[in-house]
A and B are shown apart, each in its own frame.
Chain A
Amino acid sequence: MSEYAENLSSALVQRRYEWIASTVDSTVKKGSGEIFTLTDMLDQVFLDKHLGIPIFLTILWTMFQFAFAVSEPFVVIIERVFEMLGAWVNQAISDPYLASFVSVGVIGGLGSVLVFVPPIFGLFLALSILEDSGYMARAAFVMDRFMYRLGLHGRSFIPLMIGFGCNVPAIMATRSMDSEKDRMITMLISPLISCSARLPVYVLIAGALFGASYAGTAVFAVYALGIVLAVVMALIFRRTLFKGEPSPFVLELPTYAVPDASSAILHMWSRGRMFLKKAGTIIFWATIIVWLLSVHPWEATSGGQVIAESYIAWIGHAIEPVFQPFGWDWMAAVALLFGLVAKEVVVGTYGILLGAEEAGLGDALVSQGLFTPLTGFAFMAFVLIYVPCVAVIGTIAKETNSWRWPAFALVYQTALAFIVTGVIIAVGRLAGLS
């Protein structure tokens, strides 16, 4: 037996490597000396001890800017199309029930969510390009030193990045981690990474309350809040539930490559179509239910005109007290309630409740005075943190093969949402904001 081997299986592994070395030796002729490749050059900069993290943050910020800037004109186009469609439906359909269903339920509810297809696709495109170029692995490498100190595993970084798109694949991506503890921590904190489903809510609220010049900063602040909370929770979980050191991190850095356009687009499409599928199924049904509740009883609401008399207003008023300390009204309460299904439904619910065909939904929010900048930002934070959507809960259940962990995620996130939102409101009021 080999003198180096500690046991049989390492002896086997050693023989394999010996065989590989001899095979490579007899088939491969190395190039004339090591050349300093473009990859080496780029890595000198991107992996630099001091520059690495600032560069990464800049790239991250650029990614969001790119996603929003590229998608902006398309959002406007879609908005206009739905507005026109809504106006046309009201004229073309004489039956008031059907007209309300199509114009308020489908166009107002589902349409207000579909407006966000462009930024979501933009974000997916940016993520695909970052991945295909080979930078994502560098980002994980750069962040590892920092994350290790926080008790997080460097490999958990990639699932977290994927989480910006959607938390479901992020949780699935934790499978590549071989330490069960590292994996559980990553799984539990990944819903705090702000996924694209929450984006419509931020864009709506921030766009309405902070104006064009500050909306981007407000949205970026919520994303940053998500990251900070994820890090804090990881630290807490590492100290309490999953004690121990993160396992060592071995990561291979692929060579940089110019991303292939068709492959990036295919990538974007395969992720983006999940959103479209969700819009056609779960979001659609949820908004229809919201619509039904908002026009019934039909007589009392005079055919959906007086929402204050509807079932949904009744539900809203019933749970409103819970959110009153935050300065939110009953509409926010029901929006959050139905947002449990999927967070896009928060926007869909507002689309129905405010029936905003004539002006943009954001303008309606402002004119009704539903939020101040402070309560609006707190609302964005609450949407970020509270209960991950049904799909995430289901995925955690599947991945951990238990109902204990998804239940735990649900409870801790809801509690965290109330705490953080409370702190935001309290600090804001102390600072003299209303």
Chain B
Amino acid sequence: MIRAALIGNPNVGKTEIFNRLTGLSQKVGNFPGVTVEKKAGRLVHQGREIEVVDLPGTYSLTAHSVDELVARDYIVLERPEVIVDIVDGTNLERNLYLTLLLLEMDANLVVALNRWDMVKARGMEIDIEKLSELLGCPVVPTVAITGDGLEDLKDSIVDAAGQKRAKGQDAALNYGCDIERLISKVEDLIRKSPALVEKYPQRWLAIKMLEGDEMAMEQTRACLSSSQLAEILSIIEAVEAAIK
């Protein structure tokens, strides 16, 4: 069985796509430990069974709101085979932020470029091949309200599940050598803890720590020695001082 998770900004047609994919097979429950509603459903495509989980709609994946935290924990800890990021084709500028964060999490991503009809109606042109190349993941145009492109999307989910994204594949975004140097320094420290390496994508965790993300800090605290932690904190402090 392929486990796939749907994610996207609010109001991009995620619910419609989820409904189209799973029909009446939906089950509503809760994400463990919190009361965020978890909707899951199943479908069979190309003889493969796919379980689809609908993650909360979010713009970002910080630790500030319960919804974002739930989505992020699900991706990092449950490691679904495929993440389907539903993107509003008419508003890539805003939507790609989440996509970028997902790529950073080493997620095996499929991007559904939704509202494709609106894109065309507005006379916009999107170079799908190029976008797919830049993101390093398949991009499928869809129209949720009519169901166009959903068969292609299912194909891509099955394909993506077959080919795991290589761990440590070149990051889509290079933060520039000054920041990249910091990231690899922190990454080196993270690698010293087998528990962290096992549990989290290292680059992602390193970036989160540099951002001062509370949850990331808390989770690493348990796995790193105090001197290693102090070292990370001093890296961050040094940079912050340099900026000021």
Contact = CB atoms under 8 A, between A and B. Distances in A.
A260 B243 contact: no
A17 interface: yes
A12 B16 contact: no
A255 B173 contact: no
Given A6-B243, A8-B240, A9-B210, A15 B66 contact: no
Contact of B125 (A28, A178, A263): A28
Interface string B146-179: 0000000000000000000000000011011011
A254 B125 CA distance: 20
Interface in B107-133: 115, 118, 122-128, 130-131
B201 interface: no
A395 to B, nearest CB: 7
Given A31-B122, A169-B37, 9 more contacts: A8-B240, A8-B243, A9-B210, A11-B179, A19-B173, A26-B127, A27-B92, A255-B90, A270-B28
B65 interface: yes
27 contacts: A1-B178, A7-B240, A8-B211, A9-B211, A9-B212, A11-B179, A11-B243, A12-B210, A15-B175, A15-B179, A16-B100, A16-B173, A19-B100, A19-B172, A20-B96, A24-B92, A26-B134, A27-B127, A27-B128, A27-B134, A29-B125, A32-B123, A177-B65, A252-B9, A252-B10, A252-B94, A254-B11
B116 to A, nearest CB: 13
Interface in A8-46: 8-9, 11-12, 15-17, 19-21, 23-24, 26-32, 35, 37
Interface in A252-306: 252, 254-255, 257, 260, 263, 266, 270
A176 B67 contact: yes
A277 B189 CA distance: 52
B222 interface: no
B26 interface: yes
B122 A178 contact: no
B141 to A, nearest CB: 13
Using C-beta atoms within 8 Å of the partner chain, give the interface range for chain A.
35 or more
A309 interface: no
Given A16-B97, A31-B123, A35-B122, A1 B243 contact: yes
A144 B86 CA distance: 28
A137 interface: yes
A23 B175 contact: no
A9 B178 CA distance: 14
Contacts of A28: 92, 124-127
A35 B135 CA distance: 29
B225 interface: no
Nearest to A21: B93
B36 interface: yes
Contacts of A26: 127, 130, 134
B215 interface: no
Interface string B1-32: 00000000111000110010000101010000
Q: Which 10 A-B pairs have the closest CB atoms?
A: A31-B123, A254-B11, A9-B211, A29-B125, A27-B131, A27-B127, A31-B122, A19-B173, A20-B96, A175-B66
B179 A12 contact: yes
A37 to B, nearest CB: 7
Nearest to A177: B65
A23 B37 contact: no
A252 B8 CA distance: 14
B77 interface: no
B242 A1 contact: yes
A228 interface: no
A184 to B, nearest CB: 14
Contacts of A30: 123-124
Interface in B200-244: 207, 210-212, 236, 239-240, 242-243
A15 B10 CA distance: 23
Interface string B63-81: 0111100000000000000
Contacts of A270: 26, 28
A239 interface: no
B44 interface: no
B35 interface: yes
B140 to A, nearest CB: 15
Contacts of B131: 23, 27
A363 interface: no
Contacts of A252: 9-11, 94
A7 B175 CA distance: 15
Nearest to B123: A31
B197 interface: no
Contacts of A254: 11
Contacts of A266: 19, 24
B195 interface: no
B19 to A, nearest CB: 6
Given A15-B176, A31-B124, A255-B118, A175 B65 contact: yes
Interface in A385-422: 395, 398-399
Nearest to A260: B145
A144 B240 CA distance: 37
A20 B123 contact: no
A80 to B, nearest CB: 30
Given A15-B179, A176-B67, A20 B97 contact: yes
A172 B35 contact: yes
A65 B169 CA distance: 57
Contacts of B115: 255
A263 B124 contact: no
B244 to A, nearest CB: 8
B173 A37 contact: no
Contacts of B135: 23
Nearest to B237: A8
B133 to A, nearest CB: 9
Contacts of A20: 92-93, 96-97, 100
B124 A29 contact: yes
A266 B26 CA distance: 11
B21 to A, nearest CB: 12
A232 interface: no
A47 B239 CA distance: 45
Which of B11, B128, B134, B178 gathers most chain A CB within 10 Å?
Answer: B11
